[in-house]
Structure 1
């Protein structure tokens, strides 16, 4: 095994030079690298989505299912394809618009796009440092609020097919920063207030690691300051300028596996036109 720094990304690249199975790698050693770097790229291990799940199980206490992503097969119900469509995906942390943010995002590459389609990521610590004093003061002093509405099909996918409104209430009751309403059609409207600045899981550093940009651009989403006032487009533009200067790239090869710290790094993707692209994803909490 060999570790290396990629020319295009600050991710730690772990290259298989000894024809090993990824399952032979020392778990604690990989976890230590993950804590240090936050993004690990495992290359030449020939990982498919079954092997991704098996490898992730060594680190994970629990898997969660994204409500919008298609499940690959019934044997691995937590393994999904990445976001549907071929469009550009804005910087975001997974489920950061809710209190159910997982610790790790796992991606593996079945088939890379013939052109473009790279996964992008941003170091939230670096973004925070480069935002400038005025913006940092703004987001230290003012929280943001995400508003979402989940039809029954969505919350049943998250909680399980046989779940009920009583299960929804048990899950949502007494969560700090969250209020909710059960609608007549059994959809659930949620308001979630949080800081755009989070403390990283490892190192306890300030990170601008959130879903603000993605939800601001999402026609289905709604994000405001805590008091309901709009976030000015000039603020969003300034954040985007910093994001653009901090963009890093994962150029996929078949069999690649990537492990991303969801408390520190935002991720997204470049648009593409190749319908054969297959990138699989998995969300988990660490042990």
Structure 2
């Protein structure tokens, strides 16, 4: 049996459903993702931590089903695998979570493929999602393996994205950049942080608003396996900010033709989380992009946490 080197040994246990060390696992998708089923009366926080870490390292996407997870349980579980948490500046927070559990992106429309906060120097290692109420129709979370996507792009686009970097622009009011550094962070704190980061140019306004240019590679090395992955926020930034005015770091336009080719590759790699109440999903943010199908059901409730991993 051939095993992809970026997947590792635990991919073997996902090929057929098995029961081992209280874990029932089976394939989640065609990209190596793993579904962990609850069996018997085991609890989420009782799952063997080191075994779960191995699954997360190898699969990159792990769903936990049958554990009836809500936002508080998600935070407790994620805390076992994280040393600190991050926050999104646009998402509403859940009361009592310390600000680190948030509702997902507001609205009901389609959300383009992106890696969480990959358009900034504050990119977390992982994103966690929990579902208490899926939409009656639509609203599935989508994801794409950046390793597979990189292979799908072909030699010409690979050469282009190796040669040129992406350039993003952000504006953060003081209360928004404090989400990353802490509510009591000062201008000196943000200066010290940004002055040590590669690819960052910035300006602090008199009202302490931060204007930031961030230059970064489109193809990155994965946290686990150190392999190339097209894991970035090109598509979401193209749609939501500059469009065909967006350029590479050298000022070369990122043309509609390039975006169309990337979209075609994404379409060949799309995987879907078809939510059930109580589901929890871990996504390796160094390797996988994610997004969402549109929906109309206003009762849909999906929560998220962003974290930096301790393994």
Say whether 1:66 aligns with 2:88: yes
Relative distance call for 1:26 and 1:214 in structure 2 (3 A) is: same
CA distance in 2, matches of 1:93, 1:241: 18
The answer as to 2:213 corresponding to 1:201 is: no
Deviation at residue 151 of structure 1 after TM alignment = 1.9
One of 46, 59, 72 as aligned partner of 1:24: 46
Matched, 1:249 2:272: yes
Distance 1:158 1:60 in 2: 15
Could you say what secondary structure the match of 1:219 adopts? helix
**Contact 1:8 1:250 (C-alpha < 8 Å) held by counterparts:** no
Secondary structure class of the residue paired with 1:246: coil
Q: Which residue of 2 aligns with 1:225?
A: 248
Query: What is the aligned counterpart of 1:15 among 21, 30, 37?
Result: 37
Measured after TM superposition, the shift of residue 159 of structure 1 is 2.7
Alpha-carbon distance in 2 for matches of 1:51, 1:186: 36
Per-residue CA deviations over 1:258-280 (Å, capped at 9, x if unaligned) read 00000000000001111110000
Mapped partners of 1:220, 1:226: distance in 2? 14
SS in 2 for 1:74: coil
Q: SS of the counterpart of 1:138?
A: helix
Q: CA deviation at 1:178?
A: 0.7
- Contact 2:31/2:145 (<8 A) preserved: no
1:138 aligns with 2:163: no
The answer on 1:128 being equivalent to 2:150 is yes
State the partner residue of 2:56: 34
Please tell me whether residue 157 in structure 1 is matched to residue 203 in structure 2.
Answer: no
What's the TM-score once normalised by structure 2's chain length?
0.89
Structure 2 portions without partners, runs of 5+: 1-22
Aligned: 1:264 with 2:261: no
How far apart in 2 are the matches of 1:220 and 1:279?
Answer: 28
Q: 8 Å contact 2:248–2:254 — kept in the other structure?
A: yes
Q: Deviations over 1:16-48 (max 9, x none)?
A: 021211011000000001111100000001111
Which structure carries more relative contact order (alpha carbon 8 Å, separation 6+)?
1
1:48 aligns with 2:70: yes
Q: How many residues align?
A: 287
Consecutive unaligned residues in structure 1, runs of 5 or more? none
Normalising to structure 1: TM-score of the pair? 0.96
Superposition pairs for residues 62-211 of structure 1, below 5 Å?
62-211=84-233
* Offset, 1:205: 0.7
TM-fit CA distance, 1:9: 6.8
Deviations 1:1-20 (A, max 9, x none): 31011367742000002121
| Cα distance in structure 2, aligned partners of 1:173 and 1:282 | 27
Q: CA RMSD in A?
A: 1.6
C-alpha separation in 2, matches of 1:159 and 1:35: 27
State the Cα deviation string for residues 167-216 of structure 1 (Å, max 9, x = none). Answer: 22122112111111112332111111111000001111100000011101
